[in-house]
């Protein structure tokens, strides 16, 4: 039984489709008149701008001379008369000169003036070389020299035109007369004046005929440092990845009368002279300002900066200063009392509970810090660590280095380095690093401006550990304390104002109002510092860890992330206002 035709077969049998669609496998025959079919035309590739081959850059020393330029016409006239002549070449170069007369930049800027001078002289010479009428007698012109003086006046160039007809060839006297007519009197190349008439390319070429002396400005005085201004701190690590905090320190000890830096005097400038014989003024060097700070002095001849006493040398602001060093061989306890020193402090023992150590420079403690307060104007180095009992307070205007930190409050204006931070409140205006040794942050609150790096955050006991990134932590904390103090002062002021009028009340009100005014100034300064910090293009902060246990909380911007399960080898960053973990 034959198969029934499909719907598509029936549709194609209609005459409309037969005329519209013609299916044939036969190739179209090509008639002899048409010839073979042309190959398909390929469209040219379109290249982007950076793929196109750029034109070679123009030579700044070479002046382009069009074919119809008067100079070219004069050259063809000379070629026809003499039978041969070197092609014109106008280059602002002098290979044999002691100093190049132009740099590529100045040569490109000088081309405009040279072109105007050549155009004017060549046009005038061509007008004189061609006969005015057909029946005029043949023209006879002697060789002629054009002089061009650079805009700086430090070089003069000559361009010689050949004779026309029976005119005289170029002579040395022609060059000398042309230079004298242009008032060129200084730095003349006498050898060129003498040999130019003998050169084969003497015509239609630029030659450097005179070169002036550029003024040489004096050099400013220089401070030659013998000690580094910025000392880099290094963390010595042993084979067990432990830091030897007793070896940490960047103190540069110096003895009295030791040379800190040499003060090299300035030099006087040398005046110049242009090719017209005019003197060019110059400037003398400026003496260097010696970086003289506290406990430093100048040598008798003013050529050296010396240490005024024994101590530690540091560069602060814009000057070197020698800080005296207080060396305490034992503990800070009742035998020594609290320490308040303007220089560096080195404590070889412990800092016992209840005592305070304040220093303008670096503080280094070889022993243990108990429930004490330490404030350092420089670095704070704790070779062992802190057992703070929730009462110890550490402040440093630079970096803090500690073996471990336990139950204390820490304020670092720069970075903090420690092997273990346990139950502490840490405020750092830069970064917190816990990467060496155990490298653990357990409990407490860590607030850093940019970065927190640790091997482990939290513990298996799910101790709450809060990491906050952003802002200026030290300033923000002090601002909060300041606001609390302002509220207390305002309440106290209101209570004093309700008291009966008497001299004690008046004195107390004056003191309270003065303190309130000072606090307002501090608050304004805190706000200004925070605005300046926020205006900077700060890189996004991040938290990097090998393992973070449950109970860890990370705050960035307005978002809070709670880590509920153990997370390994991740970095937390705020992306579009949300904290993301990247492994």
Q: How far apart are CA 373 and CA 384, in angstroms?
A: 16
> For position 372, what pLDDT does the model report?
95
Both tokens of 103, joined, read 């740099």
Q: How far apart are CA 339 and CA 346, in angstroms?
A: 11
Both tokens of 227, joined, read 């000690």
In a domain, 360, yes or no: yes
> For position 203, what pLDDT does the model report?
95
Sequence-distant (6+) residues with CB within 8 A of 308 are: 256, 295, 296, 297, 322
Q: 42-56, pLDDT tens digit by residue?
A: 555 555 555 555 556
260 and 276 in one domain? yes
In a domain, 388, yes or no: yes
Find out whether 207 and 196 touch, Cβ atoms under 8 Å.
yes
> For position 325, what pLDDT does the model report?
85
Find out whether 427 and 474 touch, Cβ atoms under 8 Å.
yes
172 and 194 in one domain? yes
Last residue of a domain, one of 273, 288, 323: 323
Which of 187, 22, 163, 177 has the alpha carbon at shortest distance from 101? Answer: 187
168 and 109 in one domain? yes
Taken in order 351, 353, 355, 356, the sign of the CA dihedral is positive
Q: How far apart are CA 523 and CA 480, in angstroms?
A: 10
381 and 364 in one domain? yes
Q: Are strands 559-563 and 552-556 parallel, antiparallel or unpaired?
A: antiparallel
Q: How far apart are CA 306 and CA 261, in angstroms?
A: 8
Beta-strand runs (E) in 3-154: 144-149
In a domain, 64, yes or no: no
Longest dimension (CA), the chain: 131
Q: Which residue has the higher pLDDT, 26 or 569?
A: 569
Beta-strand runs (E) in 202-355: 206-211, 222-225, 252-254, 259-264, 272-273, 279-280, 296-298, 304-307, 311-316, 319-323, 325-328, 339-341, 344-347
Q: Are strands 279-280 and 252-254 parallel, antiparallel or unpaired?
A: unpaired
DSSP 36: S
Q: 78-137, pLDDT tens digit by residue?
A: 998 888 889 999 999 988 888 899 999 999 999 999 999 999 999 999 999 888 887 778
Q: In what order do the strands lie in the sheet with 206-211?
A: 144-149, 155-161, 206-211
- Kindly report the backbone phi and psi dihedral angles of residue 576, in degrees, each rounded to the nearest multiple of 5, phi listed first: 55, 45
Find out whether 138 and 154 touch, Cβ atoms under 8 Å.
no
Query: pLDDT averaged over the chain?
Result: 87
Is a pLDDT exceeding 60 seen at residue 145? yes
Give the residue-averaged pLDDT of 37-45. 53
In a domain, 33, yes or no: no
Is a pLDDT exceeding 90 seen at residue 34? no
In a domain, 41, yes or no: no
CA distances from 139 to 55, 119, 160, 504 (A): 44, 21, 18, 116
Q: How far apart are CA 465 and CA 452, in angstroms?
A: 13
In a domain, 229, yes or no: yes
Residue where the block lists tokens 């400037």? 283
570 and 487 in one domain? no
Residue 212's pLDDT band, with cuts at 50, 70 and 90, is very high
Q: How far apart are CA 374 and CA 92, in angstroms?
A: 71
Q: Quick one: CA torsion of 184, 189, 194, 200, rounded to 10 degrees?
A: -110
Sequence-distant (6+) residues with CB within 8 A of 255 are: 307, 310
> For position 3, what pLDDT does the model report?
56
Last residue of a domain, one of 158, 178, 211: 211
How many CB atoms sit inside 10 A of residue 334's CB?
A: 9
> For position 97, what pLDDT does the model report?
84
Q: How far apart are CA 331 and CA 478, in angstroms?
A: 30
What is the domain count for the chain?
4
Which of 349, 296, 297, 305 has the alpha carbon at shortest distance from 324? Answer: 296
> For position 1, what pLDDT does the model report?
46
Q: 155-173, pLDDT tens digit by residue?
A: 999 999 999 988 999 999 9
> For position 53, what pLDDT does the model report?
55
34-48, 183-197, 372-386, 513-527: range with lowest mean pLDDT: 34-48
Strand partners, 556: 469, 559
Question: DSSP letter string over 378-411?
Answer: S-EEEEEEEEEEEEEEEEESS-EEEEEEEEEEEE
CA distances from 177 to 114, 147, 198 (A): 20, 10, 17
In a domain, 91, yes or no: yes
Q: 299-349, pLDDT tens digit by residue?
A: 999 999 999 988 888 888 889 998 888 889 999 999 889 999 888 899 999
Last residue of a domain, one of 323, 350, 379: 323
In a domain, 446, yes or no: yes
Q: What is the 3-state secondary structure (H, E, C) of 362-385?
A: CEEECCEECCCEEEECCCEEEEEE
459 and 401 in one domain? yes
Q: Could you list the residue range(s) of the whole structural domain that residue 287 is in? A: 220-323
523 and 388 in one domain? no
> For position 90, what pLDDT does the model report?
93
350 and 259 in one domain? no
98 and 122 in one domain? yes
Q: 348-364, pLDDT tens digit by residue?
A: 999 999 999 999 889 99
By three-state DSSP, how is residue 1 classified? Answer: coil
Find out whether 93 and 108 touch, Cβ atoms under 8 Å.
no
- Phi-psi category of 443—alpha, beta or left, where left has phi over 0 and alpha has psi -120 to 50? left
* Burial (0-12, 13-18, 19+ Cβ within 10 Å), 428: buried
By three-state DSSP, how is residue 256 classified? Answer: coil
340 and 287 in one domain? no
Which of 87, 202, 214 has the alpha carbon at shortest distance from 145? Answer: 202
> For position 121, what pLDDT does the model report?
94
313 and 181 in one domain? no
Q: 263-297, pLDDT tens digit by residue?
A: 999 999 999 999 999 999 999 999 999 999 989 99
> For position 504, what pLDDT does the model report?
86
Is a pLDDT exceeding 90 seen at residue 24? no
Question: DSSP letter string over 63-75?
Answer: PP--TTSHHHHHH
- HSE of 349, CA atoms in CB hemisphere, 13 A: 11
152 and 81 in one domain? yes
241 Cα distance to chain centroid: 35
Which of 415, 453, 430 has the alpha carbon at shortest distance from 544? Answer: 453
Which of 432, 427, 420, 354 has the alpha carbon at shortest distance from 384? Answer: 420
């Amino acid at each position: 039984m034959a198969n029934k035709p499909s719907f598509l077969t029936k549709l194609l049998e209609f005459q409309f489709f037969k005329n519209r669609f013609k299916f044939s496998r036969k190739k179209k025959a090509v008639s002899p008149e048409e010839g073979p079919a042309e190959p398909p035309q390929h469209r040219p590739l379109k290249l982007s701008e950076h793929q196109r081959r750029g034109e070679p850059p123009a030579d700044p020393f070479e002046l382009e001379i069009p074919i119809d330029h008067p100079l070219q016409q004069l050259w063809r006239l000379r070629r026809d008369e003499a039978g041969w002549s070197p092609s014109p070449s106008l280059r602002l170069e002098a290979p044999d000169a002691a100093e190049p007369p132009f740099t590529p930049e100045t040569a490109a800027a000088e081309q405009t003036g040279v072109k105007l001078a050549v155009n004017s002289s060549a046009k005038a010479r061509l007008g004189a070389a061609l006969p005015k009428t057909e029946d005029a007698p043949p023209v006879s012109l002697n060789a002629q020299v054009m002089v061009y003086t650079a805009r700086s006046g430090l070089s003069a160039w000559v361009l010689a035109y050949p004779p026309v007809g029976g005119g005289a060839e170029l002579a040395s006297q022609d060059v000398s007369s042309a230079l004298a007519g242009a008032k060129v009197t200084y730095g003349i190349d006498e050898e060129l004046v003498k040999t130019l008439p003998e050169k084969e390319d003497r015509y239609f070429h630029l030659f450097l005929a005179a070169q002036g002396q550029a003024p040489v400005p004096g050099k400013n005085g220089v401070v030659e440092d013998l000690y580094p201004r910025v000392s880099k701190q290094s963390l010595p690590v042993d084979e067990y990845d432990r830091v030897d905090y007793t070896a940490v320190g960047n103190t540069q000890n110096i003895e009295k009368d030791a040379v800190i830096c040499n003060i090299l005097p300035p030099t006087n400038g040398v005046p110049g002279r242009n090719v017209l014989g005019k003197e060019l003024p110059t400037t003398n060097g400026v003496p260097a300002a010696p970086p003289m700070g506290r406990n430093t002095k100048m040598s008798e001849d003013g050529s050296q900066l010396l240490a005024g006493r024994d101590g530690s040398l540091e560069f602060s602001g814009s000057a070197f200063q020698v800080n005296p060093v207080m060396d305490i061989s034992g503990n800070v306890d009742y035998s020594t009392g609290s320490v308040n020193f303007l220089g560096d402090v080195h404590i070889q023992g412990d800092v016992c509970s209840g005592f305070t150590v304040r220093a303008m420079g670096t503080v280094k403690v070889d022993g243990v810090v108990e429930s004490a307060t330490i404030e350092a104007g420089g670095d704070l180095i704790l070779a062992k660590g802190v057992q703070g009992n929730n009462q110890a307070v550490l402040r440093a205007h630079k970096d803090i280095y500690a073996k471990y930190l336990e139950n204390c409050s820490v304020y670092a204006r720069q970075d903090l380095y420690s092997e273990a931070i346990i139950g502490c409140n840490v405020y750092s205006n830069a970064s917190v690093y816990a990467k060496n040794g155990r490298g653990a942050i357990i409990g407490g609150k860590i607030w850093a401006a940019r970065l927190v790096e640790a091997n482990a955050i939290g513990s298996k006991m799910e101790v709450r550990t809060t990491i906050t990134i952003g802002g200026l932590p030290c300033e923000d904390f002090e601002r909060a304390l300041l606001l609390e103090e302002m509220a207390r002062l305002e309440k106290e002021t209101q209570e004093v104002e309700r008291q009966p009028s008497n001299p004690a009340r008046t004195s107390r009100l004056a003191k309270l109002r003065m303190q309130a005014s000072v606090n307002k100034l501090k608050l304004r300064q805190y706000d200004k510092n925070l605005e300046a910090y926020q205006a900077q293009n700060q890189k996004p902060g991040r938290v990097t860890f090998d393992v973070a246990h449950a109970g860890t909380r990370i705050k960035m911007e307005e978002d809070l992330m709670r880590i509920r399960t153990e997370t390994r080898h991740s970095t937390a960053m705020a992306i579009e206002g949300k904290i993301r973990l990247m492994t």
